[in-house]
């Protein structure tokens, strides 16, 4: 199966378990890898036959900006559910990274795979 991906989609949101994290917006970085059959789009050269990653990115951005989860695990799961419900992908991998969350590391995160 073909893979359509979005890398490093940066969105500001409320995320975290500490009191101060509930009051400030932080940047999370989101990566998606989505299975989608691109043969029809490759043949037609028409966006209506493709997986419109711009629409997916805008939808995820709007969702994440409004969310207020404590855990990135929950955020990743909700992103996966949204994409699988609203877009014609057969499965996906979602990664959510939280830059600067742990001293000494660039970021921490989670990667989930959902059919």
Tokens at residue 45, please? Answer: 């050269």
Distance separating alpha carbons of residues 61 and 48, to the nearest angstrom = 22
Task: Spot the catalytic one: 3, 40, 81, 98.
Answer: 98
Distance separating alpha carbons of residues 21 and 87, to the nearest angstrom = 31
Q: Is 70 a catalytic residue?
A: no
Q: How far is CA 69 from CA 17, 55, 63, 65, in A?
A: 9, 23, 11, 11
Q: What is the DSSP letter of 48?
A: G
* Catalytic residue IDs: 98
């Amino acid at each position: 199966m073909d893979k359509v991906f979005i890398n490093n989609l940066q969105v500001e949101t409320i995320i975290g378990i500490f009191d101060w994290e509930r009051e400030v917006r932080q940047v999370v970085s989101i990566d998606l890898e989505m299975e989608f059959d691109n043969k029809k789009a490759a043949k037609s050269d028409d966006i209506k036959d493709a997986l419109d990653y711009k629409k997916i990115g805008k939808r995820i951005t709007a969702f994440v900006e409004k969310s207020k989860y404590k855990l990135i695990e929950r955020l990743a799961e909700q992103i996966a559910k949204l994409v699988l419900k609203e877009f014609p992908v057969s499965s996906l991998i979602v990664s959510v990274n939280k830059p600067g969350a742990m001293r000494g590391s660039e970021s921490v995160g989670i990667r989930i795979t959902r059919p």
